[in-house]
Amino acid sequence: MKLRINICHIYLVLILLTWFNGTLYTPGGFVAQGIQYVILLMSLYYAVYANQKYKLPVYFKGLNVLLIMFAIYGMILILSGEQIVLQATYTVTTNTTYLKSILLSLLPIYAFYVFTRQGYLTEKSIRFWFFVFFVLAIRSFFRSQERHLEAALEASSSSTEFTSNVGYTFVALLPALVYFQKQRMLQYILMVACAYFIVAAMKRGAIICGAVCIVWFLAVNLKKTKRNRRFLVLLLSVIVFAALAYIYYYMLNSSDYFNYRIQQTESGDSSGRDILYSTFLNHFLNESNILRFLLGNGANATLKISYNFAHNDWLEIAINQGVLGLLIYLFYWISLFITWRRSRRQPQPFMAIGMFLFIYFLSTLFSMSYNNVTRFAAMVLGYSLAIYNNKEQTLQNVNV
């Protein structure tokens, strides 16, 4: 019997190893760089393969154009050899990081699409890897808390609660819960567990994305459930809302820092984003050089204008890639929206793609989206696109 090697699992194991950067191997060392470049090369290969082999959903047209744009600007930055300082941390940015972070964020979508079409990635695999990455996310949460606590002690601070970007990691796990439809109870328990860590991480953007995602999921799940099971789903939805309310009030009554974050939000404190947004918007609107207005100032140009990145994709692209970049980025999101709407006849892909759309589109407004797609979210999106597209093509062939 011929042994079939599951290349998807090998790819995922490599991704898994990146979570142990600094534990199993030295950060930024030969092993760390080697693993990243192997993932990058494999992802690039499958991107080319997918475009040559399959008739892809319209989303990939937007993704192709977006990646070509970023590749051109990224290569110009690398070839320029220019050293740009991130003044927020007083560190010199590595020219390769700009392009590499974007490619590692978006290219895996192609790989997981191909793995699904080839039968290497299945719904069962999605559920298995959910638990793997859920455990790793919990580990990252507590490690982040430990690092913040150590830093606070060194600074003679009495702080014991901190904001953690790991909240976004738990948000990115939510779309996978669509594929736990056959285990309803487990599906809702896992949703509440993710919600707890999203709130505990106290990242306001992650809480907004998570809340929108969960409410939409519960509403659509109830609507698309068969009538004989609708009462059970309604009951579970009520329990989830009760659990979320309990988590909120528990944090409100037990955490001074959580209260402080709420007060910040109510008072309009955006952690300095308002200053960044105003700086970049004024710079873009008042740009007198027509070429820079149309084509931008180049990759990482925001760091030449202010002390930090824009923390808003639209402003970041407006400064870096100009009007051309904004149009391409808009085309990317329109392509995803069109694909999502076309998948509405297939409940699970429709819900998973929709949750990805909500999470990462909202992230464009107050964070960085295009270079922060987690590989697990890329896996769920790639799988969902392949399932939708495969069934759609099958239906078209039958109708013909």
List the Cα angle 219/222/223 in 5-degree steps: 85
Scanning the structure block, which residue is given the tokens 């328990």?
A: 189
Cα separation, 19 vs 30, in Å, equals: 16
The pTM of this model reads 0.93
The SS3 call for residue 91 is strand
Give me the tens of pLDDT residue by residue for the chain, a chain 400 residues long.
455 789 999 999 999 999 988 788 888 788 889 999 999 999 999 999 999 999 999 999 999 999 999 999 999 999 998 878 788 777 778 888 999 999 999 999 999 999 999 999 999 999 999 999 999 999 999 999 998 888 888 888 777 778 889 999 999 999 999 999 888 899 999 999 999 999 999 998 999 999 999 999 999 888 877 777 788 888 888 998 899 899 888 888 888 888 888 888 777 767 778 899 999 999 999 999 999 999 999 999 999 999 899 999 999 999 999 999 999 999 999 999 999 999 998 999 999 999 999 999 999 998 889 999 999 999 999 999 999 988 766 545 444 3
Which DSSP symbol is given to 85? E
**Which CB contacts under 8 angstroms, 24+ apart, belong to 136-145?**
136/16, 136/19, 137/166, 137/169, 137/170, 137/173, 137/197, 138/197, 139/19, 140/19, 140/166, 140/169, 141/166, 141/170, 141/197, 141/200, 141/201
